[in-house]
């Protein structure tokens, strides 16, 4: 039936509400959304949407590092899906991996979809943090990524 589709839509609405209207029950909403989405992680048609919801809930629940397993699950399914890559880039940056965050942004750019301003800003922030780790060295991967960022911006 369409129950999984409705569950995903309900979870996405819950996550949107929690992000837009922080309240006393926001943490509860994120936890409930994660629990509902987790139940669909094994569903062949909804695994990516469910994994995306779980990661979004985790990002909303705390400002701490994100469990790599949550990211790896989504990354395995994401391809060039822009929404997935946006969440993965946020998680990578939060986890102190700016190079990885830049890679997710670059994958999103390859999708052919025009990236919104928030993603380009996140990419720029990640690129600057990655650059700072190079200590003035010219890293070929960083230069290629920086060129992709310029094209996307």
| Dihedral, CA of residue 131, residue 137, residue 138 and residue 143, to nearest 10 | -10
Task: List pLDDT tens digits, range 93-108.
Answer: 999 999 999 999 999 9
Task: Give the Å distances, CA to CA, from 15 to 35, 94, 110, 119.
Answer: 12, 19, 27, 19
Which regions of the chain are under pLDDT 70?
Answer: 1-2
Tokens of 127: 């690129």
Predicted confidence at residue 31, as pLDDT, reads 93
Task: List pLDDT tens digits, range 5-30.
Answer: 999 999 999 999 898 877 788 888 99
Locate tokens 């949407």: which residue?
A: 49
């Amino acid at each position: 039936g369409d129950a999984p589709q409705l569950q995903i839509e309900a979870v996405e609405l819950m996550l949107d509400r929690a992000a837009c209207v922080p309240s006393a029950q926001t943490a509860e909403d994120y936890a409930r959304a994660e629990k509902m989405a987790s139940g669909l992680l094994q569903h062949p048609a909804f695994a990516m949407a469910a994994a995306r919801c779980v990661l979004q809930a985790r990002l909303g629940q705390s400002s701490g590092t994100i469990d790599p397993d949550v990211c790896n699950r989504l990354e395995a399914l994401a391809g060039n899906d822009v929404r997935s890559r946006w969440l993965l880039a946020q998680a990578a940056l939060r986890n102190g991996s700016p190079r990885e965050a830049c890679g997710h942004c670059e994958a999103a750019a390859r999708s052919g979809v025009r990236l919104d301003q928030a993603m380009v800003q996140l990419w720029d922030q990640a690129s600057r943090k990655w650059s700072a780790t190079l200590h003035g060295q010219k890293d070929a991967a960083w230069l290629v990524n920086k060129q992709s960022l310029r094209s996307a911006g």
